[in-house]
Amino acid sequence: MEYVILAVVIAVVAVGAIAGLVVSGRRRQQLPPKSQAPVITAPPTPREPAVGEEAAPPTEEPRRTVEEVQLPTAPEAEAAPAPAEVVEAVEEAPVLEVPEPTAGRLVRLRSRLSRSQNSLGKGLLALLSREHLDEDTWEEIEETLLTADVGVAPTQELVERLRTRVKVLGTRTPDELRGLLREELIELIGTDSDRTVHSTKHEEGPAVVLVVGVNGVGKTTTTGKLARVLVADGRKVVLGAADTFRAAAADQLQTWGERVGARTVRGPEGGDPASIAFDAVKEGIAEGADTVLVDTAGRLHTKTGLMDELGKVKRVVEKHGPVDEVLLVLDATTGQNGLIQARVFAEVVDITGIVLTKLDGTAKGGIVVAVQRELGVPVKLIGLGEGADDLAPFEPGAFVDALIGD
């Protein structure tokens, strides 16, 4: 009996265990699967697809080892291009310009005086050609001369001489009038003055030429053009850039010098002009130059201190030797204002000659007469254009011929 009860208990336990296993299995099937963490992988290296292909992962291509690479044969090696040769750039010396000869330069530039010619020369000829020269006509002649900046005293002298000669002449043909007017104008300008620019080397050393004038008259440009005039006449020139108060003045002068092979002595901007002028003359002596051209500062004539500086430049330069020329540059278009400038400069330095610039752009050709009378010194050079060789030695006969025409 005891065995029967034990067997029943064992059977019940076994049935319970089997039932628990079945229920547990069903529950496992109903639960959702556990989520897994994402795995991040690097994208494959892209390969450029060929025409008609889609982008595909790269395929490993076979590589050749060093032993497998075939070297070029002898003919191929000979056909290979040789390495390019490195050619060093050789800086070529600048080509020097050859200035035009100065002889007869004013004659070649006669057409530049057309404005002055129409106003002064032809105007006078037209008035003198009238059949009756009454007082009104002589007043018009006088007005024409004054308008051309001839000056009051020279105008009165010329009118009186013309009155006398026309009265004696009687009948007046155009050729006779032209000859009469030519003679009187040349007499008014003067032919006995020394109009040579003294630029010849002497025993003390090179000739020294100071170029003075106010701002805006073309002083530095005139200095450069004068260097060309002297080089054309066979002079060896050294330039002194003593205009240290105007920006780029030294650069401008140096450019002019380089064109004709003239050396330029310069200093720092704002430096002492007298010191630079002194060094320029010293350099001219060392190089055996014929002429030293010193471009002084374009100071205003109303600045007393700056005018004193100009006097200092002249005194310092004279420690090497005498100053041969002091050329005053005047703008012909300024008329009477130019005469005021001339007076002030003449009080500071001894002016030896006048350079009239922009004479082609004014109808006031009479300024030549007025400025000579004012300073008692001759006009030596005139500027008749913007070209490098448009600075000409002044010749009274050629000038008057240009004024009155052929």
Calpha distance 52→26 (Å, rounded): 54
For residues 383 and 222, is the Cβ–Cβ distance under 8 A? Answer: yes
Stronger pLDDT, 58 or 244, i.e. the higher one: 244
> Element (H or E) spanning 380, and its range?
strand 379-383
Calpha distance 365→94 (Å, rounded): 39
Residue 225 amino acid letter: K
Residues sharing a CB contact under 8 Å with residue 308, sequence separation 6 or more, in sequence order: 348
Would you tell me the crossing angle of helices 219-232 and 249-260 to the nearest 10 degrees? 10
Q: What does the pLDDT read at residue 47? A: 52
For residues 224 and 256, is the Cβ–Cβ distance under 8 A? Answer: yes
* Residue owning tokens 């006048």: 354
DSSP 257: H
CB atoms near residue 289 (< 10 Å) = 23
CB atoms near residue 322 (< 10 Å) = 11
- Taking residues 56-72, report their average pLDDT: 52
Calpha distance 351→237 (Å, rounded): 21
Report percent pLDDT > 70 for the chain.
73
Q: What does the pLDDT read at residue 388? A: 86
Calpha distance 406→394 (Å, rounded): 19
- 210 forms bridges with which residues in the sheet? 294, 326
pLDDT in tens, 143-186: 988 888 888 999 999 999 999 988 887 767 888 888 888 999 99
Q: What does the pLDDT read at residue 31? A: 47
Confidence of residue 41 (pLDDT cuts 50, 70, 90): very low
Confidence of residue 33 (pLDDT cuts 50, 70, 90): very low
For residues 208 and 320, is the Cβ–Cβ distance under 8 A? Answer: yes
> Element (H or E) spanning 25, and its range?
helix 2-30
Stronger pLDDT, 134 or 360, i.e. the higher one: 134
Q: Is residue 380 over pLDDT 90?
A: yes
Helix (H, G, I), strand (E, B) or coil at 295: strand
Q: What does the pLDDT read at residue 37? A: 42
For residues 374 and 354, is the Cβ–Cβ distance under 8 A? Answer: no
Q: Is residue 86 over pLDDT 50?
A: no
For residues 389 and 99, is the Cβ–Cβ distance under 8 A? Answer: yes
For residues 105 and 389, is the Cβ–Cβ distance under 8 A? Answer: yes
- Sheet containing 325-331: order of strands: 263-265, 237-241, 291-295, 207-212, 325-331, 353-357, 379-383, 391-393
* Residue owning tokens 């000659």: 353
Calpha distance 382→387 (Å, rounded): 13
- Taking residues 118-129, report their average pLDDT: 82
Stronger pLDDT, 41 or 102, i.e. the higher one: 102
Helix (H, G, I), strand (E, B) or coil at 195: coil
Q: Which of 115, 128, 118 is nearest to 178 (CA)?
A: 128
pLDDT in tens, 330-351: 988 887 777 888 888 888 888 9
Report residue 104 as tokens. Answer: 């007869």
